């Protein structure tokens, strides 16, 4: 078996609504790179791995992931950190890839995502890449929400380089500047993104050629959810205490059907 080129880590807690669609998109992207149809794909025979870090889910998330484990070799590991940061760190600890790619369990990546991630890291030497996010749901409010995050990422401010719903970095960068900060409820990726932007700017990129479709359902289901999340982000940018306050939706707290 050759060395693992890419590890895709998915933090998940109570994600039965979308985890199957998310995994199917990832498997399609892996199959495209190696030239294998989805039905013939068996991940342990490839230099790619997909790891779901299941944060003590109470819905059907484990059952759905275990079906993919049986069919194509997706790995499910358990953790009890009750945060995305803890789940991403647990998934990373279990991974072997030279390149790490983080995909949220409600974010659907495009078909050419894996080849683009490898191109940026293996061919162009990037240490960390953020990718464009667009709304999975219809409506002007959701569309404007993700447009706003795209604008924020282009600001000349290290702390604005946030939102790791679809992000990749090389192993050396993670080992040197990580892990994700588990003390934070928002912007837990800043140790990685800030170091890339400030110290290795030539090897940091916000890549807009890929657009992953991500969900706004947690904001939509909570009273003033969009406003509360935006205020939490502004507070985190401006004030250290704002990075640990519980102003944002806890991953998996809402279980839409």
Domain count across the chain: 1
105 within a domain of the structure (yes/no) = yes
In degrees rounded to 5, what are phi and psi of residue 124? -105, -5
* Host domain of residue 52: 6-243
Closest CA to 181 of 200, 199, 194: 194
Omega into 205 within 30° of 0, i.e. cis? Answer: no
| Tens-place pLDDT, residues 20-68 | 999 999 999 999 999 999 889 999 999 999 999 999 999 999 999 999 9
Query: In this structure, are residues 217 and 137 in contact, taking their beta carbons and an 8 Å threshold?
Result: yes
Rounded to 10 degrees, the C-alpha dihedral 84/85/91/92 comes to 150
Residue 142 lies in a domain: yes
Residue 81's CATH number: 3.90.550.10
Query: In which residue ranges of the chain is pLDDT below 70?
Result: 1, 159-160, 219-222, 224-226, 233, 236-257
Within-domain flag for 251: no
Query: Residue 113: inside a domain, yes or no?
Result: yes
Tell me whether residue 253 is in a domain. no
pLDDT at 221: 66
pTM: 0.88
Q: Considering the domain boundaries, does residue 207 fall inside one?
A: yes
DSSP state for residue 69 in the 8-state scheme = H
């Amino acid at each position: 078996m050759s060395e693992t080129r890419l590890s895709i880590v998915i933090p998940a807690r109570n994600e039965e609504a979308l985890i199957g669609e998310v995994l199917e998109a990832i498997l399609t992207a892996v199959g495209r790179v190696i030239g294998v149809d989805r039905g013939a794909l068996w991940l342990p025979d490839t230099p790619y791995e997909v790891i779901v870090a299941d944060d003590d889910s109470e819905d059907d998330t484990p059952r759905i992931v275990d079906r993919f484990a049986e069919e194509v070799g997706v790995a499910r590991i358990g953790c009890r950190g009750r945060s995305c940061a803890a789940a991403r760190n647990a998934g990373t600890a279990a991974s072997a890839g030279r390149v790490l790619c983080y995909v949220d369990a409600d974010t659907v990546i495009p078909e050419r995502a894996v080849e683009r991630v490898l191109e940026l890291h293996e061919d162009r030497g990037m240490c960390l890449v953020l990718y464009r996010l667009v709304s999975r749901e219809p409506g002007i409010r959701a569309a404007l929400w993700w447009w706003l995050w795209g604008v924020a990422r282009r600001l000349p401010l290290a702390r604005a380089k946030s939102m790791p719903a679809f992000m990749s970095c090389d192993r050396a960068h993670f080992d040197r500047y990580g892990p994700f900060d588990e003390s934070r409820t928002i912007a837990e990726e800043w140790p990685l993104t800030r170091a890339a932007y400030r110290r290795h700017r030539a090897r940091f990129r916000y890549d807009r050629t890929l657009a992953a479709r991500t969900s706004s359902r947690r904001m939509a289901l909570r009273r003033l959810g969009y406003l509360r999340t935006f205020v939490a982000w502004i507070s985190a940018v401006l004030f250290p205490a704002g990075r640990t306050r519980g102003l944002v939706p806890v991953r998996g707290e809402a279980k839409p059907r």
